[in-house]
Amino acid sequence: MFPTNGVRVKYGVRMSSQDPPWRTPPAKPVVKPRLSRELVVRTGLDVLLREGLDAVSMRRVAQALGTGPASLYAHVATKDELVELMLDQVLEEVPLPAPDPDRWRDQIRELLRAQVAAMQAYPGIAKVAWQVMIPIGPNALRHGEALLSLLRAGGLSLTHAAYAADALSLYTKAFAYEGSAWRAVDPTEVAARGRQMGEYLDSMPPDAFANMQATGHLFTAETAAERFAFGLDLLLGGLTSRTG
Amino acid sequence: MFPTNGVRVKYGVRMSSQDPPWRTPPAKPVVKPRLSRELVVRTGLDVLLREGLDAVSMRRVAQALGTGPASLYAHVATKDELVELMLDQVLEEVPLPAPDPDRWRDQIRELLRAQVAAMQAYPGIAKVAWQVMIPIGPNALRHGEALLSLLRAGGLSLTHAAYAADALSLYTKAFAYEGSAWRAVDPTEVAARGRQMGEYLDSMPPDAFANMQATGHLFTAETAAERFAFGLDLLLGGLTSRTG
DNA sequence: CTTCCGAACGAACGGTGTTCGTCACACGAA
DNA sequence: TTCGTGTGACGAACACCGTTCGTTCGGAAG
C-alpha cells in the first residue's frame, strides 16, 4: 500500500473482524504527509504568499496542513520562532559571493540588492526582520559574515568593518521592509494615505511645506530601485575617505 | 460644586425627593475628567512608559482611564491611529532648527540625534514608526520638511535632497528602533540570544565565521552612539562628492 | 504480541481589536 | 422651566489570537 514512512492514515483504516457491524469505516482515508519543521515553515511561507503576513497565524498554518494549532508546537517552539525560520528560509536562496578585493564595492551592492529582492518576493517577510531583535538563523549569520568579509576585503579595519556592516544591514532591512510593506497592503489604501497627506499639506500655508510639496512625487514605487541605489552609494561613498 | 465642563459625576449624584427610601446613593462620586483625544493619547504614552509597548492595548488604556474599551473609539478611529498619534506626540517635543548654510551638516546630525533620543525616551515607540507605513502626523511631516530644508541649504538638488532625506530617515528610524527595542525587553533575554548565537558560532568550523567571532563584542548597547555617528558620517560624507 | 514514547489532537484559557445597542447627560428650542 | 435631541460613555458580545493541558493513537523496540 503506502510506504509506512512519511504517510499516515487517519483514524486507522484497518478494521478488525471483531468490530461491531455498525462500525462505519472512515469515509476518506486521507493521505497526510507527516509533519516536520521544514514542512511547517514551508506551509507558513505558502500562506504568506497567498494571503499575506497577517494571515500567518498558528491556526491558519495548521488549517492549511489539515490539523489543529497544537500540532505545530511539536516542531516549533513559538510563533516568533516560526516566522524567524520563514525569514531564514527566504535568505537561503540568496547566493553569497567570494570576496574579490578588486570588486568588493560592487559585490556589496549585488549582495544587498539580492537580499532586498529575495525579501520582496515574499511580501511582508521583511517585517519579521524587525520583529525579532537580532536575526540569529544560520542563513542570517552567513549573510552577516559575507558582508563583513567583503568590507575586510576592501581594506577596512575590524571596527570600521563592523560599524559599516551594521549601517548597511540596517539600511537594507529598512528599505526591504518599506517596499515589502507597500506591496502587501491594498494599493487603494496607500493612495488614500497619499491623498490625505496632500490635502493636509494644501491646507497649510504654502511656504510651510514647500520642499515636501515639491518632492512628494518622487516617493513612489517606481523610484524605489533608484532611491536604494542612491542610499547605498552614499554609504559606500562615505567609505572611500576611510580606505583606498 | 464642580464646574460642569470637564468633569463628570458617575451615575448622577443628585437624588430626587421622590426616590424610594431604600435608594442608596452611589458610594463614591468619583470625579472623572472627560475623555478627549489628547487625554487618550497621553494615557497611552503613560501605559507605554510604565508597562511597555506590548501593554498598550485598548483595554489597558481604557482601564487606566477607568472605563471600557468602547469608550475610546469616540476619540480614536482604531488602535493603529492611537499609536500613530502617540508617536507624533513624542516627536512634538523635538525642536526643529532654522537652516544655516554654514552648519547644515551639523544641524542634520543634531536633528536626527534628537529624534533618536526622543524616541528612546519612550521605549518601544520607534516600533510604530514601522508599523504605520508612512508616518503622516503633523509633527512627522514637520520633521520631514525640516530635513529637506537642511539638505537644500547644503546645495543639493531637489531630487538628491529627496533621496538623501529618504535614506537618512530610514537609517534613523532603523537605529532608533534597534536601540529602543533592546531597552524594552528583558535584558536576560537579550543575553540569552547572544549566548545562543555564540554557542552556534563556536560549533561551526572556526574559519567559517571568523569575522563574526572577531566583531561580535562590538555590537553592544555601549557602542550604540558611536555606531549611529559612524553611519551618519558615512551618509553625510557620501554627500560631499555631490555638493560643495 | 506487548510495551512504550512521542507526535497529533480537541478543547479550553485568557487575551486581543472592534462593533452593537443602550443609556445618561448636557444643551438648545419652545 | 420643560422638552426633545444628539453625542459621549459604556457593558456585552463577536471573532479572532497564541498557547497549554490532557488524552489518544501510530509505529518502532523489546
Q: For B129-147, how does the pLDDT look when each residue is reduced to its tens digit (9 = 90+)?
A: 888 767 788 999 999 999 9
Interchain CB distance below 8 Å, B134 and A197 = yes
Interface with chain B: mutation pick from A163, A213, A223, highest number of B CBs within 10 Å: A163
Interchain CB distance below 8 Å, B170 and A171 = yes
User: Tens of pLDDT along B199-244?
Assistant: 888 888 888 899 999 998 898 888 999 999 999 999 998 887 565 4
Instruction: Find out whether A165 and A148 touch, Cβ atoms under 8 Å.
Output: yes
pLDDT, mean over chain B: 82
The pTM of the full predicted model, rounded to 2 decimals, is 0.83
Instruction: Find out whether B25 and B13 touch, Cβ atoms under 8 Å.
Output: yes
Give contacts of A222 with chain B, Cβ < 8 Å: none
Whether B6 shows a pLDDT value over 60: the answer reads no
One-letter identity of residue A209: F
Give the pLDDT band (50/70/90) at residue A7.
very low
* Selection from A166, A152, A156, A175 nearest residue A229 by Cα: A175
Instruction: Find out whether A223 and A178 touch, Cβ atoms under 8 Å.
Output: no
Q: Which residues contact B90 (CB under 8 A, 6 or more apart)?
A: B45, B118, B119, B121, B122, B125
Nucleotides of C under 7 A from a protein CB: 6-12, 15-21, 24-27
Give contacts of B226 with chain A, Cβ < 8 Å: 163
B175 part of contact set with chain A, CB < 8 Å: yes
The A residues from 123 to 152 touching B (CB cutoff 8 Å) are: 127, 130, 133-134, 136, 138, 141, 144-145, 148-149, 152
Residue A111 sits at φ, ψ, to 5 deg, of -60, -50
User: Tens of pLDDT along A172-187?
Assistant: 999 999 887 776 677 7
